[in-house]
Structures are given as C-alpha cells and as structure tokens.
Amino acid sequence: MAAAHRGDPRTGGNEVHAAVLAREVLEVFAATIPQAGECWLVDGTVGAGGHARALLDAHPELRILAVDQDPDSLSEAAPVLEPYGDRVRMRRGRMSQLGGLLRREGLSDVIGFLFDVGVCSLHLDRPERGFSFRDDGPLDMRMDPSRERTAADVVNTWDEHDLADLFFHEGGERRSRQAASAIIEARRRVPFQRTVPLADVIAKAVGGGGRIHPATRCFQALRRAVNQEGEELLRGMHAAEHHLVPGGRLVAITFHSGEDREVRRFLSGRARAGHWTLSKEKPSRAQPDEVAKNRRSRSAVLRWATRTQSDGVGA
C-alpha cells in the first residue's frame, strides 16, 4: 500500500501504511458495532494494522482478533496495535484456517469480519520476498513462508497449457500463450530462479506499450496461484458465514475484477439461500482524494453484506 506516515508517536515512529477505503470500512461497521458492551471483530488480513487501529479508535469497547498469514505483516502490526493491550489478540494464520482459530480462541459470536486481500507494500518493497518484477529477488511470492510451493516451482514445473491458462484466467493476460511458450523455451536452457530474468522473458513475449509493466499480469497470476488466493477468500467468507452473529457484517476489499466476482458470486448465492442480506448500495470505490494519496486504492472495490437470523449454517 502506498502513502506511509512516518513518525506517528503512537507507533513509536514505525511506518503505518494507509488503509484502503478506511472511511467506508468504518461506516459499514458503525451500524453494527454496539455502542456499549464488549464484542469481537475478526480482521483476517491485518497487514500493517491500519484498519484495525481505526476501528479500535472508533469503538472503545471493540476487541479484534487480528490475523495474518505473513509473519512480516504481524511484526509491522505489532507496534501499531500494542497500545490497545488485551483488546487485541494477534495470531498467525490463513483465512482458510479461521474456523479452527476461532474455536481455539473460544470466540463464537463475532460482530464483523474484514478481509482486505492482496499484496501490501511490505511484499512489493522487499525484493527478497520475490514479488517484484523491478527489483531482482528469488522467485518466491509466498505470503505464508510455510507453504511449500514457490513461484519458481510453478514456473519451472507447470506445462505450457496450464501456465497459459493461469496467466489468462488469473492475470487477464491476453498474450498468455506467448508468455507461456517463451517461459518453456527459456527454462529448457536454465530454470528460473530470480524475478527479473522471468520478467524480462515475459516482457519480450507479450510486448510493452501499455501503462503498466508488461509482466504485471503474469506476476499477479503467479502470486494468486502460489498463495491459492481464490480458495483462501472463499474459505474465509464461509468462516464469516459460520461465525457471525445475526446482524453482523462481512466487508471484503478486493483489487481485481476476478476477486470481486468471487465475492459477488458467494454473497449473492448465499443471499438467495437466505443467509445474507446484500447491501443495497453500489460497491464502494476510492474517492479521487484517496487515489491521489494512494495509487493502489484506484483498483480497490469494497462489498459488504449483513448476516441474517441464525439458521444453523455449518453448525
């Protein structure tokens, strides 16, 4: 995420990254968080802790289970959330593991779930994490370092057809076949181990000329495959359905049309089955003032829905 504020006394001078659509997140949850009485919200992608901090400030009795799969994110969030003491429990885990985590924590009735998916600046700004096509690093891309499969494994072992499908469906790369074919050709000579040589091969195959780096779409697709992002989001939303109290809300912020489609499909399908009431408003997007400060927010889409009366789903 962009726009970092330095020197905030509440974080001991650590950087706090701008939380995307923070105003809108606060508005959606304001209607459901009670004025008085302790209640719990799950931030399933706590990142640098920006949204969590804003929610804790706005609701003095709110408690947050702050979860992230990436230990580096938790290290960033720790000094931001530490001042809130026992109002925050920080735990490492994936969205797909939230059900087990909530059971272990003894939290059954949750008032809100927040998912702000995708990469953040700590991934892109640290070449050693292997997300950057500009700054060379090992071809890794795992947000959860305990996952076995890296981006190098995908690039060096998947067949041409599967790579092309991945680039097309998960990255929206129209020249996916050319990219896949160039990768197969190059890896016959030397397997890929670093990000920039891969970006160079892809750029040559798909051609430049657009406003974004020519390897952007294929890198996004690889990241989604390595971190199983579609499946993670779906399982996170199922956990929200299982654990939210009636009237509790799910807020999902996504950054590309495929992810937004997954949220829309899940919520409208489950709303038809009676488990959710959909928001009547259009999905929120960042206002020009936010985009001017934080370019990454330009592609963010926020959808939310309210859990209906308890019906024993998944119980």
Q: Residue numbers of the site for ligand SAM (CB under 6 A)?
A: 1, 17, 19, 44-51, 67-70, 73, 94-95, 116-118, 120, 143, 232
Q: How far is the CB of 108 from ligand SAM (least distance, A)?
A: 21
Q: How far is the CB of 159 from ligand SAM (least distance, A)?
A: 27
Closer residue to ligand SAM in complex, CB, 79/214: 79
Closer residue to ligand SAM in complex, CB, 32/73: 73
Q: How far is the CB of 40 from ligand SAM (least distance, A)?
A: 17
The residue with its CB nearest to ligand SAM is 47
Burial 198-235 (b: 16+ CB within 10 A, else e): bbebbbebbeeeeeeebbbbbbbbbbbbbbbbbebbbb
To which residue do tokens 């500009």 refer?
A: 134
How many CA atoms within 13 Å lie on the side-chain side of 243?
29
Closer residue to ligand SAM in complex, CB, 4/184: 4
Q: How far is the CB of 61 from ligand SAM (least distance, A)?
A: 21
Query: Are 125 and 4 contacting, i.e. CB atoms less than 8 angstroms apart?
Result: no
Q: What tokens does 6 get?
A: 């330095």
Closer residue to ligand SAM in complex, CB, 16/199: 16
Closer residue to ligand SAM in complex, CB, 154/201: 154
Q: How far is the CB of 255 from ligand SAM (least distance, A)?
A: 8
Closer residue to ligand SAM in complex, CB, 70/173: 70
Q: How far is the CB of 97 from ligand SAM (least distance, A)?
A: 8
